[in-house]
């Protein structure tokens, strides 16, 4: 993946300090409006004449919930910004994401989350580190309905003496994609999306973006993931949310709000995404789980 945090001071990760930090539990009350807002924040409803999209955003319809909403429910917030973690928040970049639905997402009531660090990968001095976290989501009866796994790149944090295991490399099909779905993002999309709970300032504040050696605020990785979920729902599931039960992907470059995301999809469930204007791959190694109903 490409790392865009240049000019930041390198400092090995303080493992004991990070592991001693207790990630806050998340708690959120959800309702039909919040479900619809999430869908709008990742581009659902941009074609208001497409009747298949309207159940995700029209409160008068029998509501559908985008599977990728699991990625933002009961969000613990940008906890790595807490000085107690010992992590420079400007060094943080979302690297990989996976989610698996264990049961349908509840459309109302209380949702809670519990997160833990499950792994630290040392890429060596000056080469950064990866932190793996797992989040479990529970409904109001404490029944788990989703498992999330996130890999976060910590620029300049390598050299703490940790393991550097070989990482799996997922190859994309060696042929042209079966489908290409283009989705436009809006200039204010990151501002909307932040209201789902991710307030990392590199997505919102131009000055914070510049301090992180970025040209301007960038789109949240999970917003890009939500847009990709929309493309997969449209292309492989005809907007039937019950058929997509999970996916995994790697973030390989940044997206600026206002750019067009071109999602290349294979019928086997593989996918990747490019920014049409700059011709760069922003998501690769994508795999989704689709129920191919008769």
Structure token pair of residue 44:
């659902």
Instruction: List pLDDT tens digits, range 145-179.
Output: 999 999 999 988 888 887 776 666 667 888 999 99
Instruction: List pLDDT tens digits, range 270-291.
Output: 999 999 899 999 999 999 999 8
Tell me the HSE value of 220 on the side-chain side, using a 13 A CA sphere: 26
Query: In whole angstroms, what is the distance from residue 169 CA to residue 263 CA?
Result: 20
How many other β-carbons are positioned within 10 Å of the β-carbon of residue 82?
Answer: 14
The yes-or-no answer on residue 31 being catalytic is: no
Q: What is the mean pLDDT of the chain?
A: 90
Q: Are 73 and 30 in contact (CB under 8 A)?
A: yes
Q: Mean pLDDT lowest for which of 146-150, 199-203, 214-218? A: 199-203
What letter does residue 250 receive in the DSSP assignment? E
**HEC secondary structure over 33-96:** HHHHHHHHHCCCCCCCCCCCCHHHHCCCCCCCCCHHHHHCCCCCCCHHHCHHHCCCHHHEEEEE
Query: In whole angstroms, what is the distance from residue 113 CA to residue 99 CA?
Result: 14
Catalytic residue among 94, 203, 220, 230: 203
Catalytic residue among 88, 122, 139, 198: 198
pLDDT band at 76 (very low <50, low <70, confident <90, very high): confident
The yes-or-no answer on residue 198 being catalytic is: yes
Helix runs in the chain, H state only: 15-20, 32-41, 54-57, 189-194, 206-211, 221-236
Residue 7 pLDDT: 41
Instruction: List pLDDT tens digits, range 40-74.
Output: 999 999 888 999 999 999 999 899 999 999 999 99
Strands 109-122 and 179-184: unpaired
- On the question of pLDDT at 251 being above 60, the answer is yes
Query: In whole angstroms, what is the distance from residue 234 CA to residue 35 CA?
Result: 18
Q: How far is CA 155 from CA 5, 126, 149, 166, 238, in A?
A: 7, 8, 19, 19, 40
């Amino acid at each position: 993946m490409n790392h865009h945090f240049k000019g930041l001071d390198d400092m090995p990760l303080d493992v004991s300090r990070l592991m001693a930090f207790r990630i806050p539990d998340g708690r959120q009350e959800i309702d039909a409006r919040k479900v619809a807002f999430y869908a709008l924040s990742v581009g659902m409803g941009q074609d208001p004449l497409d009747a298949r999209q309207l159940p995700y955003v029209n409160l008068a319809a029998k509501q559908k919930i985008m599977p990728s909403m699991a990625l933002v429910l009961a969000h613990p917030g940008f906890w790595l910004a807490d000085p107690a973690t010992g992590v420079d928040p400007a060094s943080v970049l979302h690297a990989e994401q996976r989610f698996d639905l264990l049961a349908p997402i509840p459309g109302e009531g209380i949702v809670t989350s519990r997160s833990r660090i499950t792994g630290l990968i040392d890429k060596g001095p000056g080469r950064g580190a990866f932190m793996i976290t797992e989040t479990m989501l529970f409904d109001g009866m404490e029944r788990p309905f989703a498992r999330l796994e996130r890999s976060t790149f910590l620029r300049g944090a390598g050299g703490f003496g940790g393991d550097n295991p070989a990482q799996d490399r997922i190859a994309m099909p060696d042929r042209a994609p079966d489908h290409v779905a283009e989705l436009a993002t809006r200039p204010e999309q990151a501002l909307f999306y932040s209201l789902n709970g991710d307030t990392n300032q590199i997505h919102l504040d131009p000055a914070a973006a510049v301090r992180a050696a970025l040209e301007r605020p960038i789109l949240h990785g999970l917003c890009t993931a939500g847009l990709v979920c929309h493309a997969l729902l449209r292309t492989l599931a005809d907007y039937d949310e019950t058929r997509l039960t999970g996916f995994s992907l790697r973030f390989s470059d940044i997206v600026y709000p206002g750019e067009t995301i071109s999602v290349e999809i294979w019928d086997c469930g593989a996918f990747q995404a490019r920014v049409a204007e700059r011709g760069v791959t922003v998501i690769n190694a994508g795999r989704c789980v689709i129920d191919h109903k008769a």
